[in-house]
Amino acid sequence: MIILLLSLFAIISKAQNKTLTKQQIHEDLEFLRKTLDEKSSYVYLNGYNFNSDFDHYLKTTGDFTQLEDFGLFLSKVIGKIGDRHSFVRGHKSDDSLFLPFTYAWVNNNAVILKRTTNKEYEFLNSRFPYLKKIDGIPIENFLQKILPEEITAPRDAFFTRAVKKLRDIQKNYKTLNKTLPNEIPLTLSDATSQKDTIITVTPVGMKKMSSSWDEKLEKPYIRTEYEDYNKPELFRQLFNIKDSIGYIHLPAMVDREDAPLLFDEINSFMKSIRSNSKALIIDVRNNGGGSRDITYELAKYFIHPDSIYVVNLTKQRAPIPLPKEYKESLHSRNLFSFSELDKQEQRSATKYLKTFKPMYNLDNKKYSEYYFGVFNGKKLANQSFYYNKPVYILANEKSFSAASVFVAVFKGIPNIKIAGITTDGSSGNSERFELPNSEVSIKISTMVSFQKDGKILDGFGTEPDIKIERDFNQVLWKSDTQIDRLRHLILSEN
């Protein structure tokens, strides 16, 4: 065990101390330049041209560059492209100093929390709950600089992610290219933002580090594997009915193959509430995504048998004509070309395209024809029944990837309303690769996914029909006010 630990520390140390020559940097950037130009689906769409940043970096970098510094540059570049599925990994050091306390985002402000004895949270200073500045830097400016890879996320999604990273203060100061001081002044503000107080904190080691803030609803499922959702003791707690309102909690968009018993339970539950419920809530808050299997499983109940809806349009970045492997990947997402639709679906698609106005007109030499996501009521009705009662999908800024697709495709369907907060929209059909010299791992999207209003998912997300934000009580784990308010609204309307 000691030998293994020493080996691990040696590997980490080597990664931290690795340097790259200017020639190696040049070769890696040329490799990345070619890959982005040939494969990235979002490159150049939002007006950002990475080539000028590449050229400037090559002109200004010295003879040798630390791996960590090169990786940070790449994170900033990839983040600006607007690809929400992208990442840059394999370059960061394993830092050891952290800000004390826990941080969360609420009411468009950062707050500082500490755990109570009953495992809830309380404000560090109830008179001055908001974090206004760190080391004299306004908190929004600080947050916008410490998470460059997420800079194009929808506002709530970005700040929720960034405020969680405040704890990693040593990494943050490296990102800011600042020296970490021994003591850091934090400016706190009252509820009116008119009165301030300043406290000074000393960075702490890992043993004294506080846990990061997560939703109370989310916490039990953070490390849950998809296969775990096949266990009755887990999935049965995801379903209930109260005051004649059915409730399904979906912490992840699980694949049918991984958890067939969960899908059986979904169908059993829908049958059980068919006659004794007045409405249904599907909760996809904090759902990081997965596959589209659950989307089409529930569509069997939510789409009228006489209806056909085009719910998602995509274009694949790839050689034209589209190779077989790309077609198979699109088909696995229930996306099909016009020629693959039946005649009724083609009529609906043709009618849909007459009014569809995409925010980007993509080059037909680089992108495929449209691939359609379609809800065909007749095909779906062969497997189930139509649930002709109100359905509410509760989402938030951590509803990501396939969960954000779930929200987007059901928005605007009769009897369905989206509640909560704008999602962290994303849908990319990603590919991963390594740069040859630095061995930095990069993931990019190869598919552009459009919502019904013509906007792409990435960077915009899907806005709710009924906006319900979390409040202080929810942040402090005293109640789930979003679900409580939604239930109250349903009862008042039904």
Distance, in Å, from the CA atom of 322 to the CA atom of 369, rounded to the nearest integer, reads: 9
Q: Taking Cα atoms as reference points, which of 401, 393, 386, 311 lies closest to residue 349?
A: 311
206 and 98 Cβ atoms separated by less than 8 Å: yes
DSSP letter, residue 167: G
Please count the residues of the chain: 494
Give me the number of domains the chain comprises.
3
| 368 lies in the same domain as 442 | yes
Query: In the prediction, which pLDDT does 273 show?
Result: 98
| 161 contacts: CB under 8 Å, gap ≥ 6 | 147, 150, 153
Distance, in Å, from the CA atom of 40 to the CA atom of 434, rounded to the nearest integer, reads: 15
**Residue ranges in 101-220 assigned as alpha helix (H):** 139-146, 155-164, 169-175
Which of 89, 122, 153 is the last residue in one of the domains? 89
Token output for 205: 């080691």
Task: Supply the CATH number for residue 192's domain.
Answer: 2.30.42
- The whole domain housing 48 covers 2-89
Q: Which amino acid belongs to residue 60?
A: T
| 163 lies in the same domain as 35 | no
Query: In the prediction, which pLDDT does 381 show?
Result: 85
How does 450-460 read in b/e, with b if 16+ C-beta sit within 10 Å?
Answer: bbbeebbbbbb
Query: In the prediction, which pLDDT does 17 show?
Result: 60
Give φ, ψ of 57 to 5 degrees: -65, -45
Q: How many CB atoms lie within 10 A of CB 96?
A: 11
Distance, in Å, from the CA atom of 48 to the CA atom of 430, rounded to the nearest integer, reads: 20
**3 state SS of 118:** coil
**3 state SS of 241:** strand
Q: Which amino acid belongs to residue 91?
A: H
Q: Which amino acid belongs to residue 369?
A: E
In a domain, 308, yes or no: yes
Query: In the prediction, which pLDDT does 92 show?
Result: 80
**Burial class for 446, CB neighbours closer than 10 Å (0-12, 13-18, 19+):** buried
| 119 lies in the same domain as 44 | no
| 229 lies in the same domain as 344 | yes
Express each pLDDT in 231-288 by its tens digit: 999 999 999 999 999 999 999 999 999 999 999 999 999 999 999 999 999 999 999 9
In a domain, 214, yes or no: no
Q: Which amino acid belongs to residue 270?
A: M
In a domain, 178, yes or no: yes
Token output for 408: 């987007």
| 196 lies in the same domain as 236 | no
| 171 lies in the same domain as 303 | no
Task: Supply the CATH number for residue 422's domain.
Answer: 3.90.226.10
Pairing between β-strand 109-115 and β-strand 130-134 as defined by DSSP bridges? antiparallel
The low-confidence residues of the chain, meaning pLDDT below 50, are: 1-16
Give φ, ψ of 492 to 5 degrees: -75, -25
Express each pLDDT in 74-108 by its tens digit: 999 999 999 999 999 999 877 899 999 999 999 89
311 and 452 Cβ atoms separated by less than 8 Å: yes
Q: What angle separates helix 67-81 from helix 50-60, to the nearest 10 degrees? A: 160
Using a pLDDT cut of 70, give the percent of the chain over it. 96
pTM of the entire predicted model: 0.94
In a domain, 399, yes or no: yes
Distance, in Å, from the CA atom of 306 to the CA atom of 354, rounded to the nearest integer, reads: 21
